[in-house]
Amino acid sequence: MIRKVAGPEGSGPAPQAPQGPQVGFQAALREALRLSNHAQQRVHSRGVSVSPEQAQRLTAAVEAARQKGCRNAVVLVDRHAFVVSVPASTVVTVMPADRLRVFTNIDGAVIA
C-alpha cells in the first residue's frame, strides 16, 4: 500500500486536486498500483475513465501476472489496455480499445 506523506503544518495552502477522469482512476488504484507520469498524461489526454470494479480487476490481473513471473504485461480490461511494470506495480501507459495497435517489450498478457 502506498501512502502520501504529509508535509509540515502551515507550509501554505494545500495543493489543488487535479480535475477530470484521472482523479477517479487514481483514487481507484491508490491502494495497489501507481500511475507513471506518462500514464497520467495518457489518462488525461485520452479521457480514460475506470470504475472501481475495473480497477479491482486490473489489480487482480497484475497480481496474477506477478505470480506467473511477468515483468512487463499488457492487461486488457473491457475497452482499455494497460501496460504495467509488474515488479514496480506501476501502470506505464493506457490505451482505449479503438487505439489498440502493437505492444512491444512485454512478456505477458492478461485479459481481466
Report the domain count for the chain.
Answer: 1
Q: What is the pLDDT of residues 26-51, one digit of tens each?
A: 665 666 799 999 999 998 998 888 88
> ∠ CA 112-85-51 to the nearest 5 degrees?
40
For 103, the domain range is 21-111
C-alpha 83/C-alpha 27 separation (Å) is 19
Q: Is pLDDT above 80 for 108?
A: yes
Is the model more confident about 4 or about 107? 107
**CATH number of the domain to which 95 belongs:** 3.30.2310
- Identify whether 32 is part of a domain: yes
- With contact defined as beta carbons under 8 Å apart, do 74 and 83 qualify? yes
Task: Say what the alpha-carbon torsion angle 53, 91, 31, 16 is, to the nearest 10 degrees.
Answer: -100
- Identify whether 10 is part of a domain: no
Q: Is pLDDT above 90 for 11?
A: no
Model pTM score: 0.73
